[in-house]
Amino acid sequence: MPNKPAKKREKDFHFVGNFFSLWEKFFHSPEGAFKEHYISGFSFLLDKIAINLLVIVKENQKEVFMAEQNNSKQEDALIQLEVFKEYIRRKGLRYTPERETIIKEIFSLSGHFDVDGLYLRLRNKGKKLSKASIYRTIPLLIDCGLLQEVYHEDGHMHYEPASPHPHGHIRCLECRRVEEFDDERIKQIQKNVTEKYGYRITGIRFEILGYCPDCLKKVPV
């Protein structure tokens, strides 16, 4: 956990100092109104301490959660790399540093992406890769079950990491917002198709088009 800024630490020490100063005065004060005054002060300070502790706990929980998420992503990326390496070996293809860079970047993303966006991200990070390398790698990732097509828009496809839980997408034709939704029937369709036709399913594209509530408020369609 990062160290607190100096001003924040000074404020905390000042706060604790006030508490102990009040505690000392309480024990040396006579019974009566003054005693009640100090008790009231204690109550206020204890409330402040409780609030500060709650904030600290929540901050720690958030940092732990983020660290766990990052660790989980890194572990997933390592597993996916091994799956791809094995796939490449079986296909008799070369496993290149360029392909590894592309895969690591793809699985660090959250949500959907297209080739242009992925290419720009890599360029901004100083990676010297061509779009052709990305276009050649993506079909391999789809074929080995690590990536799936999501939807086609503006002349190019959008992708996402393959999920063991089939889901659909609903896309707004006005603002282009895309949302995911789960429905058990999608899983059942995949199961039925696999059993009936004997296909090895590498992905499902279940897409619903329409206009989102926000866009309907602005421009009724």
Binding residues for Zn(2+) are 172, 175, 212, 215
Residue 133 identity (one-letter amino acid): S
Q: What is the dihedral of CA 187, 192, 197, 202, to 10 degrees?
A: 10
Contact 127, 106 (CB under 8 A): no
Strand order in the sheet with 168-172: 178-181, 168-172, 207-210
Residues that constitute the known binding site = 172, 175, 212, 215
Residue 88: name the closest of 102, 75, 104, 99 by CA.
99
Phi, psi (5° rounding) for residue 205? -115, 100
